[in-house]
Structure 1
Amino acid sequence: MSPLESVDERLQQAMKLVLLATVPGLLVLFWLYGWGVLINLILASVAALAVEAAVLQLRKRPLQPTLIDGSALVSATLLTVALPPYCPWWLTVSAAAFALSGKHVYGGVGKNPFNPAMLGFAFVLVAFPQQMTLWPSSHGMDLLGGLQQVFGFSLSQTPDAWVQATALDSLRINKSLTMDELFAGNPAFGHFGGRGVEWVNLAFLAGGAFLLQRRVFSWHAPVGMLASLFIISLLCWNGSGSDSHGSPLFHLLTGATMLGAFFIVTEPVSGAKSPGARLLFGAGTGLLTYLIRTWGGYPDGVAFAVLLMNLCVPALERFVASRQEHVAP
């Protein structure tokens, strides 16, 4: 077996494990939102594979092994988790197309400086902000209703009660209610974080623990992100007042925290390479996530935090290398 074939085989095996690790989170999302999750997954996967094949043809590159290495499906799956269920079909397709195109602009697999899934997500978040806020309430629609909603041929207008603000949205615009009142009266809040989203985060935590156990990635980036987010939210936490930004547990179990910690910042190409740089990369992502959630223009912030830290990877690697040279005997 040649070295190139060995690398391709290791990549395929890693992508298979990552896809397997997303299954618990996808199942909880399906339980929570219904068929929209599956529809998004199919649309994103087909679009990602189609764009991957088209770009490879334009670049006059062989379709194999790139098309079957699983990287496009991983990007599509992560986009599925991040996008609102039942969003318009063209939104999902646009996100997947931009994600895969953004990867190939820099040379394809192994050369992309930005996380492809977060690149696609950030694109549609900036370009179509209204559609990106339409998150359904729990247990949304049956399959037929979901298809009608996604493809825009619903025979009746969607009821207003079908859509609700997320917990992060509600906290961001809150001016008068205490945290206790939000948890008691706002349907978007659960026991510790967003209703249902708590279980989604725990499912992705379980998937991440599986990947750690299989040594798909090291602990440095996930621990750096979660520890940083916990510490900054603890330092800035002012209790249950109406001006509260949420407890550390709230931030850990709401939004895309665990997805970001175990499936995004661990991406080996766009992330840092050395252990020390990975730790700093994760810590910077956690800090930026909190800053964007609390004072930025978007309720979650994981995607933009990751993309900003992608820009810092070369500086982080140089900083860690210089420190190691300084302390070397």
Structure 2
Amino acid sequence: MKTLRVGVVGYGYWGSKHVRVLGSLPDVEVVVIDPDPARLAEAQRVHGLLTCAPRLEDCLDVIDAAVVAAPPAEHPRLAMTALDAGKGVLVEKPLALSVPEAEAMVDLARDRGECLMVGHTFEYNPAVWKLKELIDSGELGRILYIDTARLDLGRYQADCNVIWDLAPHDISIVSYLLDEMPDETAVWARRHVGVKHADVAYLRMSFSRQQISAYVHVSWLDPCKVRRVTVVGERKMAVYNDLSDNERIRVYDIGVSALEPDDVHAMPVSYRTGDIVSPYIQFAEPLLVQDTHFVESVRTGSRPATPGERGLDVVRVLASTDEAAAAPEAVGRIRSLGTAS
């Protein structure tokens, strides 16, 4: 098999992870691209004799594909430069910081017949696959609501707020679980540190087809690292904790039922408790699964599981949160509905 040369644009937090993962794949050669000489030196120190360059434009003749892991504001320019040169592209989330930019990226990929894939890593996570299996099988019963929390201390971003930085993960997870994109959002967001971007936010998404709401809490300003998704069903409830080593999913056989009380002072509900089960999940590093899938999509020309259109759907939801945050008494309506697939 011909060696595939993949340029990783941006050797920061995510870029360094892509370099590690792609460098472990057979018949893949990595080129590190970053304008900072110190980062290029660090990449060579950690990974050995890598080909390095300061600009994507300098490498277009020697790479076959590109992974864009630069700051989000740079995503459209870098991705479209690579697509225009006939290279398949994987773009870290969010795909872009505006709907028109994301649409332009998708249109160019379609016109050029090139692979455009978005890095919604959790859609390549075996624990999320298991959670979807539990929902689709009916084991949890009718889903009442979904709640997510993605909290940490630090990693403030210069070009986007906490919703655009962290919530793409949860928007992609929830819409993947429900096979539906939300059509309405409501937001509470506040800035507590710095001068520009909100660092704590609560987001409600409405899914009208299934009449379900999902609630997302994101923060750059929390002492505890939390990565949790809770799915509450009529029959059972499930919690996905991405930080757990051996029980990433727990299924709780508990619930609440409404009653017609005989007594006006009685509680109008009854509680049911049962077993707590943690199903076995064969772990595979999601980034490895995702990047392997990207390499295969570039080689075969097949459509990726998270194509550019999927990234555009999520950007539309994110854009609606800006609208909702600007007028807290209102809601953000997603004007151009996409699909979850």
Fold-level similarity (TM above 0.5)? no
TM-score, normalization by structure 1: 0.29
Specify which structure has the higher proportion of helix. 1
After TM superposition, the score normalised by the length of structure 2 is 0.28
